[in-house]
């Protein structure tokens, strides 16, 4: 019977002195995710370069979905752990081989054995051990043939101080860094395709992400808000939870529409959004703002427009999608399961007030001139928006 899942982590093994923190964060995240998904508190053991999730009588498959959503795991394998006695190892290896053949529906099977001996005190060398195990498998399995290159089953044995781990299958993890290991950031979350992907990429590099959404209720619908909450929920599958800050933006947009020239609305709106986001970020100890912008996609995403947005903000504004093509973004959004929500039709606040001919190269002086009419009110409006955020 499987009693462990062996979890490998790659990048975080390289972190030298910080490794302990990274690893503890990874363990914490695995436990939290499993607790949320399965309402079960798993035991996770930490050994040189590996984590072991103890199955406690459960089937390994129950855990795959959780493990597939955790950054920092490079791969994992359901494994049978036994001791360092040769007879036990032989018997357990046979069980694993037969189990693999049964699950693949094979009666005739080509296999190979790979032994890794991390416990150098173990008296038999790896090549000798491979021969002993292979011979035992062949003797006890009709229809079995050894083939080093063209095999159906790779039977792996890792002989380690804490025991021998025997497995035949490995699944890819998400890689990246455990969420929380890089600090905190806010993501500007619209209802579109791009920003959830940008938030996900921030998470992938270890950022705990909080979402900031600007809504223009009643110009935009209640469903538009629900949509953003649902997107945040899908994103939370990768970080256990995502806090959403819902910023009332209607009054500000009305003021912009009233005072500012039509084709300057979008750049001005972006600048105010970023200022509000920066204020929220500071209150929440966040060190960066992430957006779903990618270069040249629309008028507000030209280099000149991005300069205008960045100018009002001291915190760095990161745009993880800057070099992506739309299809590449769509592919990720499908993979992370946000696409079907993002493509629901509810209006975004930008589309409600959008100009017919937005400028592609807004001149900073022109924007500032246009903003002058708002100047008296703008600080107060930002302060009020931040004060009335719904969390």
Residues that bind ligand ATP (CB under 6 A): 188-190, 192-195, 212-214, 291-293, 297-298, 300-301, 348-350
Q: Are 178 and 12 in contact (CB under 8 A)?
A: yes
Q: How far is the CB of 287 from ligand ATP (least distance, A)?
A: 17
Q: In angstroms, rounded to a whole number, what is the distance separating the alpha carbons of residues 266 and 248?
A: 17
Nearer to ligand ATP (CB atom), residue 350 or residue 378 = 350
Minimum gap (Å) between residue 11 Cβ and ligand ATP: 27
Q: Which of 32, 18, 318 is nearest to 177 (CA)?
A: 18
Q: Decide whether 160 or 227 has the Cβ nearer to ligand ATP.
A: 227
Pairing of strands 75-82, 4-8: antiparallel
**Considering the complex, what minimum distance in angstroms separates the CB of residue 194 from Mg ion?**
7
Q: Give me 244's structure tokens.
A: 């959403």
Of these partners, ligand ATP, Mg ion, none, which one is at the site of residue 298 (CB under 5 to 8 Å by kind)?
Answer: ligand ATP
Q: Taking the complex as a whole, how short is the minimal distance between the CB of residue 348 and Mg ion, in angstroms?
A: 5
What's the min distance (Å) between Cβ of 122 and ligand ATP? 54
Distance in angstroms (rounded) separating the CA atoms of residues 105 and 109 = 10
Angle 294-298-301 from CA coordinates, rounded to 5°? 50
CB nearer ligand ATP, residue 137 or residue 187 = 187
Let me know the angle formed at the C-alpha of 56 by 55 and 61, rounded to the nearest 5 degrees: 35
User: Under DSSP, is residue 367 helix (H, G, I), strand (E, B) or coil?
Assistant: helix
Residue 134 C-beta: closest distance to ligand ATP, Å: 54
Distance in Å, CB of 2 to ligand ATP, minimum: 42
Helix, strand, or coil here: 177? strand
Closest CA to 215 of 240, 180, 248: 248
Q: Identify what 91 binds: ligand ATP, Mg ion, none; CB under 5 to 8 Å per kind.
A: none
For residue 191 the two structure tokens come to: 């209802």
> Which residues lie near Mg ion (CB under 5 A)?
190, 192, 348
Cβ closest to ligand ATP, residue 30 vs residue 193: 193
Strand, helix or coil for residue 181: coil
Residue number of the CB atom closest to ligand ATP: 192
- Partner in contact with 386, chosen from ligand ATP, Mg ion, none, beta carbon below 5 to 8 Å by kind: none
300 binds, among Mg ion, ligand ATP, none (CB under 5 to 8 A by kind): ligand ATP
Tell me which DSSP letter residue 254 carries.
Answer: H
Q: Which is nearer to ligand ATP, 141 or 297 (CB)?
A: 297
Q: Please report, for the chain, how many H helices and E strands are present, in that order.
A: 13, 14
Q: Give whichever of 168 and 220 is closer to ligand ATP, judged by the CB atom.
A: 220
């Amino acid at each position: 019977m499987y009693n462990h899942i062996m979890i490998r982590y790659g990048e975080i093994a390289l972190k030298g002195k910080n490794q302990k923190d990274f690893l503890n964060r990874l363990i914490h995240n695995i436990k939290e995710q499993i607790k949320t998904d399965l309402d079960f508190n798993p035991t996770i053991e930490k050994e040189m370069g590996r984590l072991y999730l103890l199955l406690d009588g459960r089937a390994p498959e129950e855990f795959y979905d959780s493990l597939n959503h955790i950054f920092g795991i490079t791969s994992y394998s359901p494994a049978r752990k036994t001791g360092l006695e040769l007879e036990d190892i032989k018997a357990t290896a046979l069980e694993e081989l037969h189990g693999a053949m049964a699950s693949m529906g094979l009666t005739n099977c080509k296999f190979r054995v790979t032994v890794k001996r991390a416990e150098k005190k173990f008296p038999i060398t790896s090549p000798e051990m491979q021969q002993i195990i292979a011979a035992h498998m062949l003797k006890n399995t009709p229809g079995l043939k050894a083939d080093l290159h063209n095999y159906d089953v790779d039977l792996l044995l890792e002989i380690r101080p804490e025991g021998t781990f025997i497995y035949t299958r490995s699944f890819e993890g998400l890689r990246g860094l455990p969420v929380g290991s890089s600090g905190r950031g806010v993501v500007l979350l619209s209802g579109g395709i791009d920003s959830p992907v940008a938030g996900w990429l921030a998470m992938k590099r270890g950022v705990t992400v909080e979402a900031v959404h600007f809504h223009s209720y009643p110009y935009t619908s209640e469903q538009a808000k629900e949509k953003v909450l649902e997107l945040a929920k899908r994103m939370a599958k990768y970080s256990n939870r995502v806090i959403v800050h819902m910023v009332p933006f209607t009054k500000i947009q009305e003021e912009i529409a009233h005072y500012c020239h039509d084709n300057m609305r979008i750049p001005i709106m972006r600048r105010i959004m970023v200022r509000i986001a920066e204020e929220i970020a500071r209150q929440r100890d966040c060190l960066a703002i992430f957006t779903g912008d990618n270069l040249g996609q629309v008028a507000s995403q030209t280099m000149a427009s991005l300069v205008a947005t960045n100018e009002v903000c001291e915190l760095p504004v990161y745009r993880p999608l800057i070099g992506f093509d739309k299809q590449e973004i769509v592919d990720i959004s499908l993979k992370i399961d946000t696409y079907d929500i993002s493509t629901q039709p509810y209006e975004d606040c930008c589309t409600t007030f959008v100009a017919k001919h937005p400028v592609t190269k807004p001149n900073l002086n022109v924007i500032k001139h246009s903003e002058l009419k708002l100047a008296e009110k703008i600080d107060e409006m930002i302060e009020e928006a931040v004060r009335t955020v719904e969390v």
